[in-house]
Structure 1
Amino acid sequence: MSQRIKEAERAELHRIIWWIANDLRGSVDGWDFKSYVLGILFYRFISENLTAYLNEAERSAGNHHFDYCDLSNSEAEFGREETVKEKGFYILPQDLFANVRTKARHDANLNETLSRAFTNIEASAVGTESEDGIKGLFDDLDVNSSKLGPTVAKRNEKLVGLLEAIGDLNLGNGGFTEHTIDAFGDAYEYLMGMYASSAGKSGGEYYTRSGHGGRRGR
């Protein structure tokens, strides 16, 4: 890829992130909204990172059509222990960003669905070496906050918009190449720069400091 094309893609990525962080937030204060943008972006990253990792392992073993997203939760449980040792966390298929996003627009309990997913992700690390790094990752992403809207329906409408916009971000070719990982990192750095302050113990901090995600991750 030429440097000119790469810079053009980067500029487009930044333009969309700017739109998400400003226009999509509506009446939500920008400082508060950053937690939602960063949190959902991070949620997408770790979901796709885990899916790519498991798909690569299975396909290398000869299961060429394997797709972790398509498994039932019970089928997925077989790999939990080993995966947590390798990745530091686990996400059941029902809780993956892609699967939650697919059903989001018609999920009247989307806030509960997301809350459950975040709780399950953090719980997957309890009792392991990665527990301290995972615990509280989504504390700043309150999907039940009145700041998102006065009613559950309004809050879910905002959450659907976030899932759709962040899901549509072009972060690479879908194969989770190094370019894709760099795009996630660039998105985080741009967002953190926009808000010019630490996001606390959020996905941004975990992404940049932990060995489980981002350019330093697997």
Structure 2
Amino acid sequence: AEQKIRKYLVDNNYIDTVIQLPPDLFFGTTIATCVIVLKKSKSDNAILFIDASNEFERRGNKNTLTTANQQRIYDTFVARADVAHFAKLVSNPDIAENGCNIAVSSYVEQENTEEAIDIVALNAEIARIVARQSELRTAIDAIVADLEGAQA
């Protein structure tokens, strides 16, 4: 039933924007929520997806949208343009091809926050640690041999 409703809204060009809000924003629920902006007289045949899930400040035990966060969301909403890792304007036919899925995460690419790893430096560090381990093993063996010699 939900898929039929989404299909109807997409096919009739009623969905203007889908805004993914941060989790723990509203009292009584910690889940992330979405705002779906509906509009009957749109000038284009596309839906703007805004990922505002990281646009918050933690205050006490709740997340809060600051004035700056609200302004960024509003400016993006008005501009209706792609913003890397924040907003994507997707045509309705593309959404229909995707099963009328209107989840923001399906269209707005997440920023890659993984740290780049220097393999050469990592291998050099491992080699240094292995060499140090070997030195320590030799020193321990010498101490044990001295102790065994002293006891004899």
Give the TM-score band, short-chain normalised: under 0.3
Q: Which has the larger radius of gyration?
A: 2
Structure showing the higher helix proportion among its residues: 1
Structure showing the higher strand proportion among its residues: 2
Which has the bigger relative contact order, CA under 8 A and spacing at least 6? 1
- TM-score norm. by structure 2 comes to 0.27
- TM-score norm. by structure 1 comes to 0.21
